[in-house]
Structure 1
């Protein structure tokens, strides 16, 4: 079952970086099969994200995530969303029968801002402020994630250059 909304991405990052469960099992539970992410303008597919987290697991001694802001949004067609202002139906029969692994009409928006601090095995500490906007599928898993990373320490830049950045998606 996907991580509950409170500290949703923080818990996921801590699980991906500091956990012992296989990354693919975590991804199957938390990310849709068509998951993709954009970090500072660059799109990456799910398999590349998992490969990066495998590297980060090897390089990191510890990870700490402090959530600063978090919220969800809905849009017409989402369960509980207000009806469209023009009075038209927000969903159609086609939407109701669509495969939710690729149908985005029922997605919910998720936004978060956090500070992530990683201590690498070599003792260097990397700290970044991360701004995230995500789409959650109807089943609660993350379908897509877009983020912007603001390095807060010089080591954050060094870690990113070394392929051991510490944002929510491992870039």
Structure 2
């Protein structure tokens, strides 16, 4: 497998209805995957649960990568995600990512910080698996 990147991973996870969340996770993330978003850790099961919930709210969107760096098994990027929710509202987040890649090219760990550029206060934690109950549909 070639190494993944954040644009491919997010596109498959959130915007590619041709894949299940589990298929997308298997494609881009190791079984031992862990993620820290804005200081909150989630294991892979929590991450998959969060993405499954996010998909129920999303009508469409896209990701734009502004900066991206690979250095061996280390990955970093800065990207913007714009989501249009099924209720017609939009959320735009700028995200800073530092990650480790497994030997097979999938993400094994991501640590990220998010910055809300557009959206309601209820959408502030859309990137965090620990904040499922705070999201509006």
TM-score normalised to structure 2 length: 0.86
Provide the rounded CA distance (Å) in 1 between the counterparts of 2:25 and 2:12: 10
Q: Could you tell me which residue of structure 2 aligns to residue 41 of structure 1?
A: 39
- Structure with a larger share of its residues in strand: 2
Provide the rounded CA distance (Å) in 2 between the counterparts of 1:119 and 1:170: 21
Provide the rounded CA distance (Å) in 1 between the counterparts of 2:31 and 2:127: 23
Structure 1 residues without counterparts, runs of 5 or longer? 75-107
Matched, 1:125 2:90: yes
Q: Could you tell me which residue of structure 1 aligns to residue 134 of structure 2?
A: none
Number of aligned positions between the proteins:
130
Provide the rounded CA distance (Å) in 2 between the counterparts of 1:141 and 1:10: 13
Structure ID, larger Rg: 1
Provide the rounded CA distance (Å) in 2 between the counterparts of 1:150 and 1:27: 24
TM-score normalised to structure 1 length: 0.70
Structure 2 residues without counterparts, runs of 5 or longer? 132-137
Runs of 4+ in 1 over 6 A off after TM superposition: none
